A and B are shown apart, each in its own frame.
Chain A
Amino acid sequence: MATPLQTPLQTHSTMTSEALVAVIFLPLLGACAAVMPGRFPARLGIVAGLLPLPGLLVAVTLAVWHDGPAWLELGGWAAPLGIRLFVDPLAVLMLWMVAIIGGIAAAHAWFDFPPGTGTGQKFWPLWLLLISAMNALFLSADLFNLYVCLELVTLTAIPLIALAGSKTAIRASMRYLLLALLASLLYLLGVALLYNATGTLDLYLVSDGLGAAPPMVVTTALALISLGLLLKGAVFPLHIWLPQAHASAPGPVSAVLSALVVKTAIYLLYRLWLWSVPATVAAEGALTLLAVLGAGALLYGGVLALLQERLKLVIAYSTVAQLGYLLLILPMASSSAWPIAWQGGTYQLLSHGLAKAAMFLAAANILHGLGSDRLSDLQRLDQRQPLSLFALAMAGVSIMGLPPSGGFLAKWLLLEATWRSGQWWLLAVLVAGSLLAAAYVFRILAATLRRDDPTEARPAAETRSIPAAQTACALLLALLALAAGFAAAPLLEFIEAGTPGTWSSP
């Protein structure tokens, strides 16, 4: 397998490495500033921590586009002695998602958690640390450092859920905490075994030693790490903590949890199975097993989403389902259709992130405006909150995979890949998953347009108004999810450049 090591090592320009460091450390120092009392340090921390990210990422993207993947040795110590950062198209894409979704959700949160006030004081340091931790995670090339990053992501995400303050939210975050700690422990046990078997913690050097290590050790280590990541990524049947946690969190937090936080674990599964594990380790069976779990997630999550009575729970179960697509591509890693499958999977990562964040922000607006997100209370939403409904519907189009949207493109590529590689069972699962998605999205839309019950309809006076900017945030994300279907060509080319080496079975 062509690991990045076999491509000539790129010497990075200083500017790129400074941009990479800034992407991690600006939000980190912003969090420190936001801890200080008063309105000014908090605002400074938020603005300085989030606003420069897109600009920095333009520099990183251009560098990766022209010169290929780059390494950055922290402290000047080469691996395996030190820790390095690694940036390739996949990492760049994830960083962009953090910058865009994290930024827009932050703008939404600005109104609910004004910086410098009581709740804002609690919210912003955690938020900025979470952004910093995710950026660090997507860049890290070291298995132990990734453990620390995973912990930081978890320990910042969980209090953010609890900030909703309700009993459900506290219970859900406690359950999340306990299961996430178990997951971290499993991951760490696996990493310890891998280190002892290979003598390195570097994600991209581990593969060299794995061939010589006893198969039992490798299997146990990979199983433990994967189990931990599946639990953190809420992959069926280890998803039990997700729906309540994501549904009871404050709106912008739900958006970031579903769009980014669970993806960190999936991202690491990709890195582990597609970059670290060499072809000498018979991984075909494991990849198929992961895809079976993905298929289970797709079907189970879809059916459960259909049965929910609350809007945010429908969206949360939809996350359980949509994560399934990301695992479905794995068994195609050895087929000739792999580049297409990879494009489809990565595009799903992107478009689901945008659409799901938009849905959660729109749902937060609806919940705030109506005081309830029960589907039965949503009738005549087209008159009461037309723009939020529009955002919800546009994002729904992408989740269902209707053209023209990012979701459509992702699912089209996935279908093409399964067709070409002859994985018929995957094809069937894909179609069933999309039908279920269409069913639960239309169920929401039908509930919002219902007006057959004039006696129970609430008077318009009861609706609270929402700041126009909050509506705009949801709308913007939904339009981005839609736009991902149009301007896809350069993006797909960029993704294809980062396809993990053409994978051949032993």
Chain B
Amino acid sequence: MIGLAIDSVLALGIVWMALQTVRSDSLFQAMLMFIVFGLLMSLAWARLHAPDLALAEAAIGAGITGALLLVTWRRLQVHGPDDSNGPRLMTRWLALPIACASALLVIIIGWTALQLPAVPGTAGELTLQRLEDIGVSNPVTGVLLGFRAYDTLMEMAVLLAAWLGARAVATEFRPGVLPGPAHAEVPLVGALLSLVVPISILVAVYLLQAGGSAPGGAFQGGAVLAAGGVLLCLTGRLEAAAQASALERVGVILGLAVFSLTGLIVMATGGPMLALPGVWAIYLVETALLLSIALTLVLLFAAAPGLRRAP
């Protein structure tokens, strides 16, 4: 009974937040609504017994995406045109047809989903049956680093493409969006950082380590570690640099390169491509993924080619 009440409130809240996001007059308000929407979605995933999704949604959907949205808002205020306060008339005019089409799509998909049969012997069931072949007890990690490791590898390439794309579009280097070292001397900032940054590292390592048997893994851990990096940017401890250092470049490609080379070495020694040889290899690859994910997210947030320590 209580469960039903919670679910109803959640469902209504999600729809309400989505509506507020779309019809909000100010861009800033819409962004805030969207972040809250992400948090509610992560609760919904938790209610649907998908804790991995809930973690990912909270860390990436609400956390990092929210930070990216807000820093974009700041950038628009510093560099952008004056009309960034509200959506243009054009957007308003398109809103109704798009809303109708979306509603139609939702109705069709909802109606279709109701008719879905229970199919025996799905890939998901097979995953649960064969999980011990991988050596981890968390089925999500088993799929991401075992049965469908190739997908994860390609997703890392997508993340690299996102960074490369952002770097290609940033035609000129524009500092001044992130607060400079001027803010760094507020006394409480140092105390806060000395607490939060180590905790973000700790939580990231825990999530990585726990990923074998419980919800967690490289993506969630990477997002948490990135949060620490974002904080360092916001407090002026890290500042934008015009060029990425060699170390940063290594960090960005680390996950993809380690993952590919591990797979290729396995193949060169007679095994099937991408069959990770044991749990240690899964953790090796996941560590590389975590570092790359965190660094890429921080670089995307800073929207700078590189970062360096503030003097």
| A interface with B by C-beta (< 8 Å) | 17-18, 21, 25, 28-29, 31-32, 35-37, 72-77, 80-83, 122-123, 125-126, 129, 132-133, 136, 144-145, 148-149, 151-152, 155-156, 158-160, 162-163, 165, 170, 189, 193, 195-201, 209, 212-214, 216-217, 220-221
List residues of B (95-154) whose CB comes within 8 Å of A's CBs.
108-109, 111-113, 115-117, 119-127, 130, 146-151, 154
Given known A77-B147, A122-B167, A148-B154, contact A199–B272 (CB-CB < 8 A): no
Alpha-carbon separation in the docked complex, A75 to B264 (Å): 11
Query: Does the CB pair B246–A37 fall under 8 Å?
Result: yes
Alpha-carbon separation in the docked complex, A216 to B110 (Å): 12
Given known A197-B119, A201-B123, contact A165–B171 (CB-CB < 8 A): yes
Distance (whole angstroms) from the CB of B120 to the closest CB of chain A: 7
Annotate B236-269 by CB proximity to A: 1 below 8 A, 0 otherwise: 0000000110100110110011001100100100
Residues from chain A with Cβ under 8 Å of B109 in the complex: 189, 193, 220
Let me know if B157 is at the binding interface, CB within 8 A. Answer: yes
Query: Does the CB pair A159–B147 fall under 8 Å?
Result: no
Distance (whole angstroms) from the CB of A219 to the closest CB of chain B: 9
Query: Does the CB pair A200–B160 fall under 8 Å?
Result: no
Q: List 27 A-B contacts (CB under 8 A).
A: A21-B264, A25-B260, A25-B264, A28-B260, A32-B256, A37-B244, A75-B147, A76-B271, A76-B275, A80-B122, A82-B147, A82-B148, A125-B164, A133-B157, A145-B148, A148-B155, A148-B158, A151-B158, A152-B154, A152-B158, A159-B164, A193-B109, A197-B116, A197-B119, A199-B119, A199-B121, A200-B123
Alpha-carbon separation in the docked complex, A364 to B124 (Å): 50
Alpha-carbon separation in the docked complex, A72 to B267 (Å): 12
Distance (whole angstroms) from the CB of B8 to the closest CB of chain A: 25
> Smallest CB-CB separation from B246: which chain A residue?
A37
> Smallest CB-CB separation from A173: which chain B residue?
B169
Query: Does the CB pair B117–A213 fall under 8 Å?
Result: yes
Query: Does the CB pair B161–A129 fall under 8 Å?
Result: yes
> A145 is contacted by which of B117, B151, B250, B267 (Cβ under 8 Å)?
B151
Given known A18-B267, A80-B126, A81-B127, contact A197–B169 (CB-CB < 8 A): no
Given known A28-B260, A151-B158, A199-B121, contact A126–B168 (CB-CB < 8 A): yes
Q: Which 10 A-B pairs have the closest CB atoms?
A: A199-B122, A76-B272, A159-B165, A199-B119, A159-B168, A80-B123, A32-B253, A148-B154, A155-B161, A122-B168
Distance (whole angstroms) from the CB of B82 to the closest CB of chain A: 18
Residues from chain A with Cβ under 8 Å of B32 in the complex: none
> Smallest CB-CB separation from B159: which chain A residue?
A155
Let me know if B162 is at the binding interface, CB within 8 A. Answer: yes
Given known A31-B160, A216-B112, contact A81–B130 (CB-CB < 8 A): yes
Query: Does the CB pair A163–B157 fall under 8 Å?
Result: no
Distance (whole angstroms) from the CB of B300 to the closest CB of chain A: 13
Let me know if B298 is at the binding interface, CB within 8 A. Answer: no
Distance (whole angstroms) from the CB of A173 to the closest CB of chain B: 8
> Smallest CB-CB separation from A198: which chain B residue?
B119
Let me know if B177 is at the binding interface, CB within 8 A. Answer: no
Residues from chain B with Cβ under 8 Å of A21 in the complex: 264, 267, 273
Residues from chain A with Cβ under 8 Å of B121 in the complex: 199
> Smallest CB-CB separation from B125: which chain A residue?
A199
Let me know if B274 is at the binding interface, CB within 8 A. Answer: yes
Query: Does the CB pair B260–A29 fall under 8 Å?
Result: yes
Alpha-carbon separation in the docked complex, A72 to B274 (Å): 12
Residues from chain B with Cβ under 8 Å of A165 in the complex: 171
Query: Does the CB pair B127–A36 fall under 8 Å?
Result: no
> A28 is contacted by which of B148, B157, B274 (Cβ under 8 Å)?
B157
Given known A31-B160, A155-B161, contact A74–B274 (CB-CB < 8 A): yes
Residues from chain B with Cβ under 8 Å of A199 in the complex: 119-125
Alpha-carbon separation in the docked complex, A155 to B112 (Å): 31
Query: Does the CB pair A75–B150 fall under 8 Å?
Result: yes
> B169 is contacted by which of A73, A170, A220 (Cβ under 8 Å)?
A170
> A136 is contacted by which of B123, B154, B160 (Cβ under 8 Å)?
B154
Query: Does the CB pair A214–B115 fall under 8 Å?
Result: yes
Residues from chain B with Cβ under 8 Å of A216 in the complex: 111-112, 115
